Structure 1
Amino acid sequence: MVLPPPDRRHVCLTTLVIMGSMAVMDAYLVEQNQGPRKVGVCIIVLVGDVCFLLVLRYVAVWAGAEVRTARRGYAMVLWFLYIFALEIKLYFIFQSYKAARRGAADPLARKALTLLLSVCVPGLFLLLVALDRMEYVRTFRKREDLRGRLFWVALDLLDLLDMQASLWEPPRTALPLWAEGLTFFYCYALLLVLPCVALSEVSMQGERVAPQKMMLYPVLSLATVNVVAVLARAANMALFRDSRVSAIFVGKNVVALATKACTFLEYRRQVRDLPPPALALELQPPAPRRNSVPPHAPLHGQPGRPHGPSPTRDALDT
């Protein structure tokens, strides 16, 4: 598949969000070191940013060329590279804050770090999806369905970032070392994988797919975010008396559990009540497009043939 010319505005905005957040993370890393070590850290982060920018030069353009198509393959690669580099820097910042817990650490800087992540990470995901520029999504109902799916993905990203932020926010009690490491890298893995699954489902929206093929992300988020997050926060409250647990996101996970359970029950009821001919029609692959006119097809100028929209095209548009 040949990609169209890239959307320059999309490429510039994506690059601005990525490099802006990276620059702020570099500033945190440099400020947390003093003396000769500060110069060494500054050189290391500059070299890393130059290498990342060289890779971003090509991947961002390829991702910008997918905006008006059904593909999101390069967007997945760009997301993986961004989260991989961002979380590595975040880990060193977290370790520095952990060493300064008993010292004079600025709580405002920690809050600013959390705010930066909560804006840039979900914002970049929505930019990579670029729902408002999807030319193949023509109906309002389909667009609103996609917008609802993206809203849940953004909430899950904020939930994972809240769990990570509880590690460097000013604490009253300290978690064990194994609990801190497990929480950080569990959220790290989910931030890498779950948005890529959501982008792959967005890539299938341009085709006629069966509903069960669109249930992978809801099932994964239900198991890895909603259930595990509630259990982890409950364990922190009961075992470690952790006062940093967000009651708002606990409520969000409970509501998500109830909503997704109702969705799964409704889906199973519809599949059970669906007649076999309609189910076979839903599961069949889309017909291949032909660039040439069939040999026995009537011309547009022949009389006796009504001219109007094709019923197959109308079915696909809805």
Structure 2
Amino acid sequence: MVREELVVRLNDREYKNWLKAGRCLLILKDGLHPFITQHARAFHGDLLNQNSLLRKPCETALCKPRGNQLSSACRACAQWQAVILRHRRQPEATLNWDNCSPPNWRTDHWELAKAFMPRGQGKVKGAEQCDASALLNLIIHCDCFHFVDPKFVREVIRFRNELMHSCELRVEDEWMRHYQTSVRKLVRQLGHIPHMATAGKQIEEMLSVDLSICVSGLDRMDSAALEEVESDSVSQWETSADLISQWEAELLQERLQELLQAADDDAKTQDTQQLKRLGGFLQANRDLGERFSLELKAINQLEARG
């Protein structure tokens, strides 16, 4: 009934900080994606209206990046490429052409947006499928978001990377205080956006909640004592446990996908070591090991290859 492994994890204050900080990023992502979609679609439409050459279809339907290079595009796709380069907020920034399918730039606003996002977005079809990092990077790299101050966005990206790259999945209280300040500044800047206003309230609730309250009293009860607990109390615990477990799984899934892709692409020593440590954490927690059994198998296969 009561998930013993989850109770133990929630009794670790720094792991709980990691979970709450990560949950705030998921809330932020949900608040951002309608806003991002609206502006990316409007940006795409404006480009088509301003430049009739962009309305011409790909001449071969075969233009595609090689690695992260797009050097042999047809005239139509080369025109799109030139326009994309002109709309970087940071002229020196590298664009990730390997995210894109150039023949679709004319018809799909999201194929255009992906050029300004981190690597690994090739199969992503819309903002709702992106993590917070991908959406925030789009904001600081594409000038259709010129009205958003990049300072606070960069701060949140930095904290997000520190959080997701934490080998122990734990962050200290001091880190958490600085993180909260940065997230609040970003939310305040975007507070005029309806979905972001809602997200801001949910983030404040998450930052203030003590997740261990959800398990207090029940984690030390034996089965006989549990029978004496009112059924609605037990039901409330089960609902809370299911919800917290779902949040935790979303965060771990995001980190696993990021590490598996990085290890598969580059086999970097640092990524491989982090993947091994994350795999060890999942195996040490039976409930997580069962939930992520396929990912653990993939980790084992990568280790065998190495």
Normalising by the smaller structure, the TM-score range is under 0.3
Greater RCO (Cα-Cα under 8 Å, separation 6 or more): 2
TM-score of the superposition, structure 2-length normalised? 0.26
TM-score of the superposition, structure 1-length normalised? 0.26
- The structure having more radius of gyration, on CA atoms, is 1
